[in-house]
Amino acid sequence: MDNLKIQNLHMNFSGVKALDDVSFKVQKGEVFSLIGPNGSGKSTLFNCINGFCIPQQGSIKFENVDLLKIKPHETVKHGISRTFQNLQNVPYMTLLDNVLLGAHRRLSMTDTFNRWISQKEREREEAMALEVLDFLGIANFEKKYLSGQPYGIQKLVEIARALICKPKMILMDEPAAGMNDQETLEIAKIISEIRDILGITVLVVEHDMNLVMSISDRICVLDSGKILAMGKPVEVKNHPEVIKVFLGDEAHA
Amino acid sequence: MKGRYDDENLKWIPILIIAVYLSPFLLKSATFSYKYYLYILNMAGIYMILTVGLDLLSGFTGLMSLGHAAFLAIGAYTSAILVDQAGLPFELSLIITPVIVGLCGLMIGFPALRIEGMYLGLTTMGFGFIVKRLIIAFRDWTGGSAGLQVSKATLFGFTISNDWNNYFMIYTFAIIAIIVARRIVKSKLGRVFMAIRDSEQAAQASGINIAKYKMLSFFISGMFAGFAGVLFAHTNHFISTDHFDILLSVYFIVMVLVGGVGSIYGAVLGTLFIVLMENMFIPLFKDTLTQYMHLEAGDFQAFIFGLIMLLFIIFQPMGLYGMWLKMRIYWKLFPFNPRKRFT
Ligand SMILES: Nc1ncnc2c1ncn2[C@@H]1O[C@H](COP(=O)(O)OP(=O)(O)OP(=O)(O)O)[C@@H](O)[C@H]1O
Ligand SMILES: [Mg+2]
């Protein structure tokens, strides 16, 4: 069953073609990876799905909802949450509060003044946040302020914030960027568990080839806004165009 | 599990309340000029209510405002007109006026959806000029540039007639304002405000309607300022445009900055610090210094405050509250060479 359906997407930034006729479908319960060299439009694609960018042409449908018609803050309501390439956190808030930010929609305004009325609601969300932190293996840190925490933990907190929204699909923009090998393995495990245990469809942008090859059901390769190849990891790995682009990339570096 | 979320530091509140209600008696027994000190403390109390609200807007939501003197003015004049000219009871004005000023804040909040940072500061400052003009223009109600006499406050049949009574009224409301602000900061609303300040993207991705909450922040901040305005009018008994100079807006920002941006107790400390500086310490050496530096008295104050702000931004960006937090860590770890932990 199709979950996300992207058709003929065109996105121009004053002449720069960030996305050029991109179409693909993501199935429910899939781990779908987007790879490609720097500036190939991966984050832009996420921003289009998320409503931060409005493409000039094309359509994005998620479970029959037209995502181009809704505002960025409403995507969560339709079951899509995301993490960012650069850390997007609130440093002067505790880990727990950062995670609870994602539960925003389920907490009512009475939280501010009628603590007795919203006590149950609060405790429920708090328990949930702790559960999510536990799932990611960073429980016991929940009272700490985020500002002093290592990069790896801050990245995980973003994932936690995205998970507590109870999404149907999660978009992860380079979850393993800047992490060491150990942490990257951890991320791979987490991504698989998000799909297997929580049943969430995962769309992930990643540069780490080993990670991508090991976790993905399907991979889509973008190059300067165009889809170069798409398919199972083995197919993509042996695709001549992909080898050219990526080897060329390495030759430059 | 229970109450894990409520890390709110409530144990200070009773101590604070006792200290606040005890200090006028201590002052009275300590010095003959206690009335003067009470007057200054009352000023600080009123400003405190405003700066706590300003901190919610500028410190927590990250929206700069140089228009808070104007909000104070609108509050003061509205209440004066409502009570003295429309005959409304003071208690009612205490409710209606903040709402009116909050709505004014909402109005200013509209441009805030599009502009940011310094430009928002300038826009709100422009708002301050307009308000001042309007007050002078509507002289039938406001007394124009001559100013306006305001009646004394009567709370439930009890007339608040002197600074002694004013003190208890102002600080009762100030404590309520502080508690309310702390509740806001520690709840969902506070999280939303901070998220808007630090990462609009994360906020939106979490389902937060940024426009709505920016407006709400302006509304709430306006309410606090309006509340302060009511108290200002009815304890000062005389208001004029001179009381709400643009420079006052800048001082409010200095108070929040010195106290520590993004902390309610910080705003309180900063306000106390600046008001006491202004009225008790600066006068001590004003004469000698103005002699050497050829400054007018008013300029001298601006000079000193500018200097204080600069020093704080450079050496103590976390403000007075940050200093206190560091001190607390220091004493907690005391014998174990804690110095290295916070330099
Ligand atoms: N808001 C924007 N305004 C103008 N140009 C943009 C904007 N966002 C992206 N671009 C351009 O679109 C192109 C694709 O950028 P994008 O961030 O999507 O790349 P990416 O694949 O995520 O790269 P990376 O691997 O470095 O994250 C780049 O040329 C970039 O300069
Ligand atoms: Mg990117």
Task: Summarize pLDDT for B167-219 with one digit per residue, the tens.
Answer: 999 999 999 999 899 889 988 999 999 999 989 999 999 999 999 999 999 99
Chain B residues whose beta carbon lies within 8 Å of the beta carbon of residue A123: 1-2, 5
* Any A CB within 8 A of B209 CB: yes
Of B33, B170, B154, B137, the closest CA to residue B90 belongs to B154
Query: Is pLDDT at A116 greater than 80 in this prediction?
Result: no
Residues in chain B predicted with pLDDT less than 50, given as ranges, are 1-5, 337-343
Q: Does some domain include residue B285? A: no
Alpha-helical regions (H) of chain B: 12-30, 34-54, 68-80, 90-112, 117-137, 139-142, 163-186, 188-198, 200-205, 210-236, 246-259, 264-276, 282-293, 297-315, 319-332
> Do B89 and B79 contact (CB within 8 A), yes or no?
no
Beta-carbon separation of A115 and B194 below 8 A: no
> Do B123 and B110 contact (CB within 8 A), yes or no?
no
The structure tokens listed for B119 are: 């430009």
Centroid of chain to Cα B42: 13
Q: Does some domain include residue B148? A: yes
The structure tokens listed for B223 are: 């309410």
pLDDT in tens, A26-79: 999 999 999 988 889 999 999 999 999 999 999 999 998 999 999 999 999 999
Q: Does some domain include residue B323? A: no
Which residue in chain A has the smallest CA separation from B183? A112
Kind of pairing, strands A226-231 and A218-223? Answer: antiparallel
ipTM of the complex: 0.90
Query: A1-79+167-253: which CATH architecture?
Result: 3-Layer(aba) Sandwich (3.40)
Q: Which domain holds residue B60?
A: 12-245
pLDDT in tens, A177-216: 888 888 899 999 999 999 999 999 999 999 888 899 999 9
A234 Cα–ligand 2 center, Å: 24
Q: Does some domain include residue B299? A: no
pLDDT of res. B330: 57
B156 Rama class: left (phi>0) / alpha (psi -120 to 50) / beta: left
Show me where the domains of chain A are located: 1-79+167-253, 87-165
* Any B CB within 8 A of A147 CB: no
Please give the model's pTM, rounded to 2 decimal places. Answer: 0.89
Q: Which of A112, A123, A143 sits opposite B183 (nearest CB)?
A: A112
Q: Does some domain include residue B250? A: no
Take atom 4 of ligand 1 and give the residue whose Cα is closest: A13
Q: Which of B6, B187, B207 sits opposite A73 (nearest CB)?
A: B207
Of A178, A173, A169, the closest CA to residue A43 belongs to A173
Take atom 25 of ligand 1 and give the residue whose Cα is closest: A38
Which residue in chain B has the smallest CA separation from A116? B3
pLDDT of res. A102: 92
Residue for token digits 């900063």?
Answer: B270
pLDDT of res. B280: 77
Q: Work out the minimum CA distance from A59 to partner chain B, whole angstroms.
A: 20
Q: Does some domain include residue B161? A: yes
Of B95, B119, B94, B124, the closest CA to residue B107 belongs to B124
Burial, B217: exposed, middle or buried (Cβ in 10 Å; 0-12, 13-18, 19+)? buried
> Do A172 and A204 contact (CB within 8 A), yes or no?
yes
Q: Does some domain include residue B123? A: yes
Q: Which pLDDT band holds residue A120 (cuts at 50, 70, 90)?
A: confident
pLDDT of res. B257: 85
Q: Does some domain include residue B278? A: no
Kind of pairing, strands A31-35 and A201-205? Answer: parallel
Take atom 11 of ligand 1 and give the residue whose Cα is closest: A18
What is the count of structural domains for chain B? 1
Q: Which of A96, A101, A115 sits opposite B206 (nearest CB)?
A: A101
